[in-house]
Amino acid sequence: MIFGQSGTIDLVLIALFSCGHVLLEGPPGVAKTLLVRSLAAALNLSYRRVQMTPDLLPNDVTGSVIYRADSHQFEFRPGPLFANFLLADEINRASARTQSALLEAMQELQVTHAGQTHPLPDPFVVFATQNPIEEEGTYPLPLAQLDRFMFKVTVDYPTAESEQKILKSHHATSGLSSPEQLNVERVLGPEEIMADRQLIRETFVRDEVIAYVQKLVHATRSDEVFQVGASPRAGLMLLIAAKGLARLNGRDFVTPDDIKEVYLPALRHRVVLHAANELAGTSTDEALAQVLEQVEVPR
């Protein structure tokens, strides 16, 4: 279904099997939505999509209470949040109030409405997309919200070879390809995902690698280029992501190379550059890459 996005697919799989959420940033038409729909079909998981707009209310996402005339009682009607995969399309177009409605769900895997707590399906993963080009009518995501995402994945245009494969495979469907049309095969279910998550938790990590992660996140706090450095949660997400990558590569232990590979997508949305450095043209990825070069790698 998806061509030329192998790195993105790996990161999405790591997040899924590591209980993480993913922020996908890229221009329109690079298969961000199709990727999530295809993954849900391949894993036999429920999928819901919400188009985030400025007039969207929190209840439109979480659900609302309605009065049932037949039973003379109020009943909670779940919103689209109650699915295994929630795709929040163009999340930065929703107001801060609606964005914050996702916070409890992403962290606690539950929704509290009218004093009652409603558990979400397990597994539950939020995939949010945002367009890096358009800024009119958008609301920047607060740092507390960004910190809930395991990865911020930059989805770029495919290579010429991959784009030719896309054109060849999907032109007959007039660009309306879907997992249902192309008969995506179901390969796993929720039970296998839960078992794999436990396997990732058991992945061995040397003390030297843990110290390496701590030095990397601490370096972002002491570097003058950053106004806000990486938090302890950032280090934890980095370590968990590296464990997922190790298992994806068939190993039961984490290496420093695993840390390096997931370092940028795990940290780029958790740090904030000083305004002067942004005006000078320094990007967050460039600043983080300099930190990665400066910190000594364990043997």
pLDDT in tens, 211-230: 999 999 999 999 899 999 99
pLDDT in tens, 110-127: 998 877 889 999 899 999
Average pLDDT score over the chain? 89
Residue 149 is predicted with a pLDDT of: 94
50's tokens: 């919400």
What is the rounded average pLDDT of the residues 176-186? 69
Residue 84 has pLDDT above 90, yes or no: yes
Residue 162 is predicted with a pLDDT of: 85
264's tokens: 């940028």
pLDDT in tens, 126-141: 999 987 765 666 777 8
Class of CATH domain 6-191? alpha beta
d(CA 166, CA 184): 16
The H or E element containing residue 73 is strand 73-78
| Closest CA relative to residue 295, chosen from 234, 208, 204, 205 | 208
For the purposes of burial, counting CB atoms within 10 Å of the CB of 168, is it exposed (0-12), middle (13-18) or buried (19 or more)? exposed
Q: For the chain, give every domain's residue range.
A: 6-191, 202-294
d(CA 131, CA 75): 37
d(CA 140, CA 93): 8
Q: Locate tokens 């996140």: which residue?
A: 217
3-state secondary structure of 89: strand
Give domain 202-294's CATH architecture: Orthogonal Bundle (1.10)
d(CA 19, CA 223): 30
Other Cβ atoms within 10 Å of 171 Cβ, number: 10
The pairing of strands 63-68 and 73-78 is antiparallel
Q: Tell me the β-bridge partners of 23.
A: 128, 152
Name the DSSP letter for residue 253. Answer: B
In the structure, what pLDDT confidence band is assigned to residue 74 with cuts at 50, 70 and 90?
Answer: confident
Task: Judge whether 242 and 249 are in contact, CB under 8 Å.
Answer: no
User: What are the phi and psi torsion angles at 268 (to 5°)?
Assistant: -60, -25
d(CA 128, CA 49): 10
User: What are the phi and psi torsion angles at 51 (to 5°)?
Assistant: -85, 110
Task: Judge whether 94 and 100 are in contact, CB under 8 Å.
Answer: no
